[in-house]
Amino acid sequence: MFFRKMIFVGSALLMSGGLAMSADLPEMGYVEPMEPVPLPPSGFYASLHAGYVMLGDVEGEAGTDSAESHVDDGYRVGGAFGYDFNSMIGIEAELSYFENDIDSLSTAGTTFQASGDVGVLTLMGNVIIGHQFDRWRPYVGVGAGAAHADFDFDIIGIDSIDDSNWGFAAQAFAGLDFSVTDTVSLGARYRYAHIGSIDYTSDGGLDISGDAFGAHSIEAALKVKFGG
């Protein structure tokens, strides 16, 4: 009987102490939940990009001899109009232009100084896949279409070239966008563009067959969405 009384008294003391501690605790006010970061809406959009392009040497055949144009780094600008089905997938039509100076041409074991440039206009259809993480959206994309290459340079003391032609083009790119608002984003990306073989003719009548070449570029981009 003594032990039962002790257990009863101890339980009563613990309960009273717990109630006293609860009374001393400050009242927790209502904490308003954080507003979710707005995601870019689905719908149409327009974008602009500009950047630095590294073309490398452009090889081919001049008549019966191999030829190689030595090309400096250049610039790239362009824009696109597209549609995002959601934050994960979209399609777009893109028009872009890049230009690089040509400083020499090697053929038949001899290097000749050159002055001029090569400009390439591309028209691509792209598919883009990404994922939204709060305001950040990493993405990758691929595209294919056509390229119009314009070669305009003088091979000093030998010949000159002012000709252009169409060829196949394809590209792959990866980038990261940051949503400034629910409709405007800024970003950066890397792009590799493949330009197919293109034939052209020098002013002196020499047939030149240009091999396929690649262009690497690093770009800044602005995207504006118009909603659904």
Q: For residue 31, is pLDDT > 70?
A: no
CA dist 192 → 93, 115, 149, 214 (Å): 17, 26, 17, 7
Task: Tell whether pTM > 0.85.
Answer: no
Check: CB of residue 180 under 8 Å from CB of residue 171.
no
Check: CB of residue 161 under 8 Å from CB of residue 116.
yes
Question: Quick one: which of 57, 41, 99 has its CA closest to 223?
Answer: 41
22 confidence band (pLDDT: 50, 70, 90): very low
Q: For residue 146, is pLDDT > 80?
A: yes
Q: For residue 35, is pLDDT > 80?
A: no
- For residue 189, the model assigns a pLDDT of 98
- Cα gap 201→33, rounded to integer Å: 68
Check: CB of residue 149 under 8 Å from CB of residue 198.
yes
CATH number for the domain running over 43-225: 2.40.160.20
Mean pLDDT of the chain: 84
Check: CB of residue 209 under 8 Å from CB of residue 59.
no
Higher pLDDT, 98 or 106: 98
- For residue 21, the model assigns a pLDDT of 45
Tell how far CA 170 is from the center of its chain. Answer: 14
Structure letter (DSSP) for residue 121: E
Question: Quick one: which of 56, 57, 71, 59 has its CA closest to 210?
Answer: 59
- Range 85-106 average pLDDT: 93
Domain ranges of the chain: 43-225
Max CA pair span of the chain? 122
